[in-house]
Amino acid sequence: MAKADQAKQRQPAPPRSRQSFLVWGSIIFGLLFLVALQTMTLLLIGMMPTIVAYIIDRTKQKHAVLCVGGMNFLGVYYPLMQLWTGDSPIKELSDLMPDLIDFLMIYGAAGFGWLLFTSIPPVVAAFLTVMAQRRVATLRATQRHLIEEWGEDIAASSDEEEKPA
């Protein structure tokens, strides 16, 4: 019994859980919401596509969040600057909220992020496939040149060496 207690004491402490991250994130978000109500309201409404991308993207790397979030923040940036440089933030936010052009800009930028996320990987895959095919063709041409120079015996002896005995 004592050995089991000692083994438990020697085990390292478990890493911080996701729940503690959510608790601390909620506390920080709540404090920011109290201090900068207008900014946080605009960011919460404007960055909604990024939040959705975070929920949807189950991969470890979160590439969708990076693509959508970056473009989404670019869309929110201009209205955020209008809010921060205005005379009265409350009046600026109330003027900004019903403005359809700003929301089209915000959500259009997020849509462009989704477009990048869905269209770039197939383009890169096609490019890498073409590069690999080109490399294979170059290696085959080099192989033919070596066979012409050294004869068929070289190709035959290398095939025999590769086969298990």
pLDDT tens sequence across 71-122 = 999 999 988 888 888 777 667 777 767 678 888 999 999 999 999 999 999 9
Total domains in the fold of the chain:
1
Q: For 59, list phi and psi in degrees, rounded to 5.
A: -75, 160
**Range(s) of the domain holding residue 80:** 18-162
Instruction: Give me the percent of the chain exceeding a pLDDT of 70.
Output: 80
> In Å, how far are 55, 90, 99 from 106, measured between CA atoms?
19, 20, 11
Assigned domain for 117 exists: yes
pLDDT at 140: 93
pLDDT at 106: 94
Assigned domain for 7 exists: no
Assigned domain for 4 exists: no
Is the pLDDT confidence value at 67 over 60?
yes
pLDDT at 10: 63
Residue 51 near residue 73 (C-beta atoms within 8 A):
no
Provide the CB-side half-sphere exposure for 14 (13 A, CA): 5
Q: Return the DSSP state at 99.
A: -
